[in-house]
Structure 1
Amino acid sequence: MARENTLDNIFTDYDESIFSDGSIDPMGLRIIWTSIGSKIFHNKLNTISTDIKLYTLNLFHHYLLQKCASEEEDGVNKLIRKKPYFNKSDLFEGMVIFLENLLINATYNLGDSSLVVPGKNKLSNLKNNESKRNTIEKISVNRDKGILVRQYLLGIHGRHKGPFLQMGVFKQNEEDIYNNPEVWKEASEIFKSSPWKEAEIVLTELIKNKLLNFTIKANAFIEYKVEDVLTKSIEEKYVALLKKDIYVDEAIRSFWLNRLGLKEDTAGILYKAYLKQKVKGLNFQKIIVSAYSESNDPYLGAINAIEPLLTLIDKCINRILSSATSKIDDDLKEFIDHWLKNNEVDPGKITAYLSVDYINQEAINRLQKLLDIYINASQSDKSAENFIINLIKYHEDIMKTRGNLNWVSIGADNKIFVHRSIYISDPHLTYLKSMTWVNSYYLPTVDSLHKGLTNEAA
């Protein structure tokens, strides 16, 4: 039976849940801090898309497709409305995967380990595997045939489709996804100079002559042997696009700062604070605290109120997950007691931000439960034991809703069973005792993107 795609399957918001929270987030805290961060950055940033080079390469690929589609409308219409391309999104998604695979092969062929794109290492492994080499001899206009197993999610386009949608680069209409003339006019200005212009010429010729001028037979996907499409010229032009210094360009910088919203509202306040603080040494917690003290911005107020509780919860569960834990002993109680008596948690301040204006409803529900656990333990005669028992039970409930195995569980006699333990060294224990915040609310992404736009050392 034919698989029918809709735009919602393809050009949708980036879903960070494809990296299972069950493997990294035993207390379900991620949804809380990302909920606040998403409100601030309007879903334009995530923890995966951090390289301005890949942002720009993705824009370039879609600029080429938009340009070719508008100039070769008949060629597009000839290929769609039938197997295997039921609509334009099927075709464009396949074409961008095709271009990514071309780029990966070009980068691999150069043999320069300093040039990195998603999929290059995987291609190298496949080429070194005799039984798998035949799987990479061809590249297809097929969203399911990337070099990466889930390239439509984890490749260059996949990592950026959510931010691109939120920035308005993509439209949600599956038949008119490139209908934002302002974006493509600005993109044409960015890509009119070297080395973009030279790459545009050879890749536009490939798209028009090889992809849009293809006669589909027996409902098969457009497909070519790599050697038949990856010319020396294309290889050289692609590799030229991987040089970091070409991204230190005012047009590129202005395009992304405007589209990413780093010049206005709360995101703009944070970006200014980041630029001011980074010369003194990068400390994301200090940046957020400083930005709030200077602006009194309500979203930053939410972080300053909520993050101390998230940090307490995170560090306490990590201490419980120690490979040495088997019961509620004196060392564990001492650690928990220290946190319950020495913290910056203010229940009243947190309650003021339990609103969908700041975090989503599921985050509100989780935060309220965690706050209740903290308050109840603080008022208990046996505060540490109360807190440990209820924290583990909360974890068990979270993992049950996910359908994941518990990292830790507690028996009727309060014996603790750690199923996924952590070795805690002395330096790590010192960190767990400190009130240093755990979450940084997409500021590492801001830092990485800024460095890419200025060619600063990482």
Structure 2
Amino acid sequence: MTHFLQALLTDYDDSLSSDSYIDPMGLLIIWSAFGRQVFRNRINSVSNDVRNFTLNLFHHYLVKKLIEDDDVVLNNALQRLYQNKDGLNFKQASLIFLENVFVFSILRYEASLVDVDPAGILGISNARRRWMNEKHRPALIFTHEPAGQILVRQLSLGVSGRYKTPLMEIGFFDGNYHYHKPAYQGRWAEAEKLIAGRPNSLLGKAAYEAYKFLKACVSRPIQGGKLQFDDVSTKLTEAYARAFASPQVVGRYAKTFWLGQTELDQGAAGALFHVLEDTEDITPQEVIERALEHGLPSSEKAKLEQIVQLEPFLADCSLLFTLMASRRTQSTSDVADAWAKFGRDAMRLPQAAKAVAEYPNLPAIKGTAAAARLRQLVAAANAGSLDDQMRALAIYHSRVMQSRGQVSWLNVGSDGTIKVHARTVSLPKPESRPPGSWHNNYYLPQFRSFVNGLRGADA
């Protein structure tokens, strides 16, 4: 369910979760805000693959070109459905149609082209079931409606949905896929160079074949409204498969472009980028600590320093709650004994809270639900004795769950008895969570995936 929620929403909104076992402390909304600040909404849990970044831009390039091409007139059926080429629904239909062509192209060539790697392709599992189970190769339908979608809710879960926010933030289009505002033109001029600037490149060949195909599909009627994939030219499908064979293949030709567009090799993100380029098997904590050794402007350095101060506090709040939820029934004294085994005492949370007490007022989260959550956690940490801290943490947790329309996992009775009403939580080993250790990742594993693709390396 976690992957489903993250796939549906570019930015996490835990009030929409229907699974009470997702993030019981409501911490994701806090740490993700600080992670997004570092990466400026270019990288997150659902947009971190250079192949998908490039594929989405490629498809928008084709749609933009189609809109600008005065020689292209929609066939009668599409004219009745969409009226004109510049409508949002028509653009969505075009994007879904192209995504489906790409996915089936990969399936057509995954066994015959050595570099083709289907891992990480959105919709590949559903597409493969259709590819294998139907008597004939699947049919393509040009529509924004569910009938033409490989993925359920493809407009949200497909490439164009998951990678919409980063391209908007960079400045290729707005929320309604308007491409032609003056502020966007410099971006599209660079995209033109990447995609069509070298006609004999992998991407150039794919662009030529894909645009010719898309232009024909929207101009001429499709018999019965369905285009059999067997009728799609092998020139097009092979060009797709070669140009987008894997993140590594894409990274080799798109690295310079994407670093220029995202600026993820600059500032705080850039320091992380260089650490990840040079190291393997390194924890998020180590990545950020090493990145801070780079000479950074004070404003960029502060973004990383905030995480260094914030994360031990969030990690320990999570750990204390885990201890409280580890047994069906126990006392606050039992939890205090366990807390001590992890090297913590009653002063641990108050001390950690001091470093982050003013964080709710930072621009990254000020005025948001994340700020309110963090302020409440700081208050719980300063509730008094460890027993009082546990009670305050239980109340905080209850409010988080109530905001989701869910029941709390546990409660603390007046006699100090903690009763867990949900599944108990497995305890980590004390040596795995020493004081100061981290629990959350701030999108660093996702950034590593992006970096590995850019450098043409396996994730």
- TM above 0.5, yes or no, is yes
Structure 1 51/100 Cα, relative in aligned 2: closer, same or farther at 3 Å? same
Aligned to 2:186: 182
Number of residue pairs the alignment of both structures matches: 429
Q: Indicate if the aligned counterparts of 1:138 and 1:225 stay in contact, CA closer than 8 A.
A: yes
Q: Indicate if the aligned counterparts of 1:13 and 1:166 stay in contact, CA closer than 8 A.
A: no
Q: Equivalents in 2 of 1:15, 1:301: separation in Å? A: 23
Map of 1:68-79 to 2, 5 A cutoff? 68-72=66-70, 75=73
TM normalised by structure 1 equals 0.82
Aligned to 2:455: 454
Aligned to 2:155: 152
Q: Equivalents in 2 of 1:135, 1:411: separation in Å? A: 62
**SS class of match (1:225):** strand
Q: Equivalents in 2 of 1:416, 1:159: separation in Å? A: 40
Q: More deviation in 356-365 or 367-376?
A: 356-365
Deviation, structure 1 residue 163: 0.6
**SS class of match (1:354):** helix
- The letter for the 2-side match of 1:207 is L
Aligned to 1:209: 216
RMSD of aligned residue pairs (Cα, Å) = 3.4
Q: Equivalents in 1 of 2:366, 2:274: separation in Å? A: 27
**SS class of match (1:339):** coil
Aligned to 1:194: 201
Q: Equivalents in 2 of 1:412, 1:177: separation in Å? A: 64
Match among 238, 255, 259 for residue 253 of structure 1: 255
**SS class of match (1:327):** strand
Q: Indicate if the aligned counterparts of 2:62 and 2:211 stay in contact, CA closer than 8 A.
A: yes
Structure 1 177/135 Cα, relative in aligned 2: closer, same or farther at 3 Å? farther
Q: Is 1:313 aligned with 2:313?
A: no
Structure 1 100/17 Cα, relative in aligned 2: closer, same or farther at 3 Å? farther
Structure 1 80/210 Cα, relative in aligned 2: closer, same or farther at 3 Å? closer
Q: Equivalents in 2 of 1:335, 1:190: separation in Å? A: 57
Aligned to 1:396: 398
Map of 1:47-58 to 2, 5 A cutoff? 47-58=45-56
- The letter for the 1-side match of 2:249 is I
Q: Is 1:168 aligned with 2:165?
A: no
Aligned to 2:272: 270
Q: CA offsets per residue over residues 178-226 of structure 1, 9 Å max, x none?
A: 762322222222222422222222211111111244499xxxxx94233
Aligned to 1:108: 107
Q: Equivalents in 2 of 1:99, 1:184: separation in Å? A: 19
Structure 1 97/292 Cα, relative in aligned 2: closer, same or farther at 3 Å? same
Deviation, structure 1 residue 312: 0.5
Aligned to 2:34: 36
Q: Equivalents in 1 of 2:266, 2:434: separation in Å? A: 36
Q: Indicate if the aligned counterparts of 2:74 and 2:218 stay in contact, CA closer than 8 A.
A: no
Match among 231, 234, 237 for residue 232 of structure 1: 234
Q: Equivalents in 1 of 2:144, 2:83: separation in Å? A: 9
Q: Equivalents in 1 of 2:268, 2:76: separation in Å? A: 47
Deviation, structure 1 residue 111: 5.0
- The letter for the 1-side match of 2:218 is L
Structure 1 97/304 Cα, relative in aligned 2: closer, same or farther at 3 Å? same
Deviation, structure 1 residue 96: 0.6
Deviation, structure 1 residue 334: 1.6
Q: Indicate if the aligned counterparts of 1:13 and 1:165 stay in contact, CA closer than 8 A.
A: no
- The letter for the 1-side match of 2:23 is D
Q: Indicate if the aligned counterparts of 1:115 and 1:242 stay in contact, CA closer than 8 A.
A: no
Q: Equivalents in 2 of 1:343, 1:285: separation in Å? A: 19
Match among 359, 362, 374 for residue 365 of structure 2: 359
Deviation, structure 1 residue 433: 5.0
Deviation, structure 1 residue 44: 1.6
Structure 1 271/195 Cα, relative in aligned 2: closer, same or farther at 3 Å? closer
Q: Is 1:339 aligned with 2:337?
A: no
Match among 287, 296, 302 for residue 306 of structure 2: 302
**SS class of match (1:315):** helix
Where structure 2 has 5 or more consecutive residues not aligned to the other structure, the ranges are 1-7
Q: Indicate if the aligned counterparts of 1:44 and 1:260 stay in contact, CA closer than 8 A.
A: yes
**SS class of match (2:45):** coil
Q: Is 1:125 aligned with 2:117?
A: no
Structure 1 72/25 Cα, relative in aligned 2: closer, same or farther at 3 Å? farther
Structure 1 351/75 Cα, relative in aligned 2: closer, same or farther at 3 Å? same
Structure 1 319/391 Cα, relative in aligned 2: closer, same or farther at 3 Å? same
Deviation, structure 1 residue 33: 1.0
**SS class of match (1:416):** strand
Q: CA offsets per residue over residues 291-324 of structure 1, 9 Å max, x none?
A: 34654522222212211110111222233333x3
Q: Indicate if the aligned counterparts of 1:103 and 1:238 stay in contact, CA closer than 8 A.
A: yes
**SS class of match (2:235):** helix
Q: Equivalents in 2 of 1:200, 1:446: separation in Å? A: 28
Structure 1 340/364 Cα, relative in aligned 2: closer, same or farther at 3 Å? farther
Q: Equivalents in 2 of 1:89, 1:444: separation in Å? A: 34
Q: Equivalents in 2 of 1:320, 1:186: separation in Å? A: 54
- The letter for the 2-side match of 1:365 is A
Q: Indicate if the aligned counterparts of 1:43 and 1:162 stay in contact, CA closer than 8 A.
A: yes
Q: Indicate if the aligned counterparts of 2:20 and 2:401 stay in contact, CA closer than 8 A.
A: yes
**SS class of match (2:226):** strand
Aligned to 2:282: 282
Structure 1 41/353 Cα, relative in aligned 2: closer, same or farther at 3 Å? same
Q: More deviation in 414-423 or 79-88?
A: 79-88
Q: More deviation in 430-439 or 340-349?
A: 340-349
Aligned to 2:4: none
- The letter for the 2-side match of 1:200 is A
Q: CA offsets per residue over residues 54-77 of structure 1, 9 Å max, x none?
A: 111111111122222212465269
Q: Equivalents in 2 of 1:143, 1:126: separation in Å? A: 18
Q: Equivalents in 2 of 1:309, 1:258: separation in Å? A: 35
TM normalised by structure 2 equals 0.82
